[in-house]
Chain A
């Protein structure tokens, strides 16, 4: 661990050196030595914190994933066991593939069900209809709720005998109670409904902002040419919305990989609600101290996360530079 914590300290020299190099350009002759020191501190302090608390642990997770360390004492040569954690994870650990599948289902559900609904709402509300603002406020409301609260609110719908859904469907009276959150074959979808309640409003707001930035004359031209609204959307609006589409895909993917709270609140991520994020904490922190093994799962999550992260960064690079 010590190595990961000292490494960032040396990395901080980079921006300092950068600032000094920049001083060679004529423009920056205005900066005094004092100014340069100030700038180095202003960017350096947050950077050190970021490296120590985010990137240090990320690298440490990778290193730890090759060990059988239990978190106690020093890590010695003997702790390094090569790829054994990965081997066990992929072949012997019965919870890995279910959790992986659940994350994939989560991603597919948000991508192909929740996100299109959010986009539909945005498209419907992006016109001068009466009350558009009120509709938007309502659809967006769940986004401001903590997921714990979302979980509790939906619990009132799903509870077997006292919940609204079973009673409304008459299942309590007829004795065919469905245990929405307890049945491992359906509970994932039950909490996905709750997750979508929140995700749809989020997508709607992002998409509305994107639609606002579409040049109205483009649509006008399409209309004059006789295109229907649906044709206009798919052939004119959607292509110019490419940047915002990337953002939405990335946001959706990252939300799916981060999914944790709802499953944990419902039943601590067991019995049909296993997720990679939950396996990490269960193995390494809350239930066992298999630091090495939990880290291996964290690395799998990291590698998958890099796909949307890189997609986002390559876009951000264009907008920021």
Chain B
């Protein structure tokens, strides 16, 4: 946790000393809230570390009779967890890269050049991202069921088989279909945030590069994108989490269990696979581990991504 969420402006020192009793109350309140905030997570960790036999005998709210990682081991193996992580990875990585690519192109065209509809186009993208997904799902579902997509074989890793493009000639129930809707939906958000960032880059850079004879793609790729590295890093972190955590698109647009990302797979295990709360806790915690690791390592990027869109300008 080497990164600060937000550094606060320093206040005069003697003031801090003067209000010390108030500070004690403030810290007491904050520490209490921290306990409240962490409790549900801590409880899940506690439950996951106890054996089912122990909790069945003494109840869940009882002193533990030995802790173990057995639930994690069992869940990892029995639930084919690595497979679902891989499914998520196959969706998230291309999703983030393509979103950043498309969004940065839109932002580049709309902020570095003035043309008649540039603001309108940006607003169209932004508004599209703000729509509840359920508003478009019915026609989208129909489109996914009726759009022909070529089948180009598959990539097989051990027992796992990942179709290239499609294995049923459709967009429905395909990795490519789910990647596509993530990319298009998130491009709206990312284009808005990146535009906010790019408009702070003076147009003279682009103009002088044009004078030097560079073509626009080269300017975009070798001049503007490197300048946007901080914003791109922040967006990548945020998009990773958004797409990783998605539930709705995967729920509706993927039907085969073996193509599910970890979020919908987890929900589907409810009832069938999860025979007790101990396993549920272990499963939920394993599923949310990657975003938590990303958050701990890249907290600054994460927060920067969220606030870029809301405070710039």
Contact = CB atoms under 8 A, between A and B. Distances in A.
B136 A39 contact: no
Contacts of B184: 46, 49-50, 53-54
* Max chain A C-beta neighbours (<10 A), residue from B40, B127, B130: B130
B59 A162 contact: yes
A64 interface: yes
B160 interface: no
Contacts of B299: 137
Contacts of B178: none
A139 B33 contact: yes
A71 B135 CA distance: 16
A285 B105 CA distance: 35
Contact of B138 (A168, A243, A291, A318): A291
A58 B29 CA distance: 47
Contact of B252 (A17, A58, A285): A285
B81 interface: no
Interface in B200-251: 207, 210-211, 215-217, 220, 241, 244-248, 251
Interface in B1-42: 1, 4-11, 16, 23, 26-27, 29-30, 33-34, 37-38, 40-41
B95 interface: no
Nearest to B293: A144
A276 to B, nearest CB: 7
If over half of B's interface residues share one DSSP class (helix, strand or loop), that class is named, otherwise mixed; here it is helix
Interface stretch (B70-78, B149-157, B162-170, B305-313): B305-313
A284 B141 CA distance: 10
- Which of under 10, 10 to 19, 20 to 34, or 35 or more describes the interface residues of A? 35 or more
A174 interface: no
A109 interface: no
B291 A280 contact: no
A261 B114 contact: no
B43 interface: yes
B5 A208 contact: yes
B187 A50 contact: yes
Nearest to B136: A57
8 shortest interchain CB distances as A-B pairs: A319-B313, A209-B307, A146-B245, A60-B139, A167-B61, A57-B136, A152-B284, A57-B139
Interface of B: 1, 4-11, 16, 23, 26-27, 29-30, 33-34, 37-38, 40-41, 43-44, 47, 55, 59-61, 102-103, 105-106, 108-110, 113-119, 121-128, 130-143, 146, 180-181, 183-185, 187-188, 191-192, 195-196, 199, 207, 210-211, 215-217, 220, 241, 244-248, 251-252, 263-264, 266-267, 270, 277, 280-281, 283-285, 287-288, 291-292, 294-295, 299, 302-303, 306-307, 310-313
Interface of A: 1, 4-5, 14-15, 17-19, 21-22, 25, 27-28, 30-32, 34-35, 38-39, 42-43, 45-47, 49-50, 53-58, 60-61, 64, 71, 121, 124-142, 144-149, 152-157, 159, 162-164, 167-168, 172, 197, 202, 205-206, 208-210, 212-213, 216, 243-244, 247, 250, 254, 257-258, 260-261, 264-265, 276-277, 280-281, 284-286, 291, 294-295, 298, 301-302, 305, 308-309, 312-313, 316-321
Given A126-B6, A128-B8, A146-B287, 17 more contacts: A38-B216, A42-B106, A45-B102, A46-B105, A57-B143, A127-B11, A133-B1, A145-B288, A146-B245, A153-B40, A164-B43, A164-B61, A168-B61, A197-B37, A265-B247, A298-B136, A309-B127
